[in-house]
Amino acid sequence: MHVHLVVAHPEKSSFNYALHCVAIETLSGMGIRYSESNLYADSFNPVAGHDDVIGFPDGESFNLAKAQRFALENNAFIRQIKHEQNKLKECDVLVLQFPLWWWSFPAILKGWIDRVLTSGFAYGEGATLKAKKVMYSITTGGAKNQSELDYYQAKIDGLYQDVFAFMGWEIIPPFIAHGVQQKSHQQRLDILASYTAHIQKKLTLAQS
């Protein structure tokens, strides 16, 4: 099994990074191969558009999905996109580590989805990328009661449905760390330990 870890957080001392480091340590401990995309550290450009593709014919009005198909057929994606797509081809499981921002992915991660999971490669007729398994590890601002927890769950289910379930990928239940900024040092350590257990359990199941 090969796991690709994508982390989307601007700050190395954040809880998101701590979770990302736990993922790396846990996978290493399990003897599972991994690769990573560290979107802020890699200065990943999240803005999809003309510059994604080299040599899309002048005169054709620009349509992103069409340009993405042209790029795939003509080996015309820019290096950054090719590099990310190659990492995806290699993996069996994708893990996305991110804070919930406006009930969604941070823009840098949304841009990674727009620019890397392209038409004809990841979805749509004749898509060449084999379907993978995907797991989110998310931090949130915090839930005060069960109805708020249910609201988070529905939002996060939607984030799976609208992207990865749409593409036919298998969903691994997420790890959700609520209200990390209000937690004590010990509570944070306990959350990190639960993440280790979550990965061990879910990825062992995913392997079988």
Residues that bind ligand FMN (CB under 6 A): 9, 14-16, 99-103, 139-141, 180-181
Q: Which phi and psi (to 5°) does residue 46 adopt?
A: -90, 0
Q: CB nearer to ligand FMN: give 91 or 159.
A: 159
Work out how close the CB of 24 gets to ligand FMN at its nearest, in angstroms, rounded to a whole number.
Answer: 16
Nearest to 164 by CA among 82, 87, 108, 109: 109
Q: CB nearer to ligand FMN: give 68 or 139.
A: 139
Work out how close the CB of 14 gets to ligand FMN at its nearest, in angstroms, rounded to a whole number.
Answer: 3
Q: CB nearer to ligand FMN: give 150 or 170.
A: 150
Rounded-to-integer distance, Cα 35 and Cα 129, Å: 17
Q: Where are the alpha helices (DSSP H) in 32-169?
A: 64-73, 79-90, 107-116, 146-160
Work out how close the CB of 150 gets to ligand FMN at its nearest, in angstroms, rounded to a whole number.
Answer: 14
Give the pairing of strands 2-7 and 93-99.
parallel
Work out how close the CB of 6 gets to ligand FMN at its nearest, in angstroms, rounded to a whole number.
Answer: 15
Contact predicate 193/200, CB 8 Å: no
Q: Which residue has the tokens 């769950």?
A: 153
Q: CB nearer to ligand FMN: give 99 or 120.
A: 99
Work out how close the CB of 22 gets to ligand FMN at its nearest, in angstroms, rounded to a whole number.
Answer: 13
> Which residues share a beta bridge with 37?
6
Give the pairing of strands 133-139 and 2-7.
unpaired
> Which residues share a beta bridge with 95?
5, 135
Q: CB nearer to ligand FMN: give 56 or 112.
A: 112
Work out how close the CB of 187 gets to ligand FMN at its nearest, in angstroms, rounded to a whole number.
Answer: 13
Q: CB nearer to ligand FMN: give 48 or 100.
A: 100
Residue 135: strand, helix, or coil: strand
Rounded-to-integer distance, Cα 198 and Cα 193, Å: 9
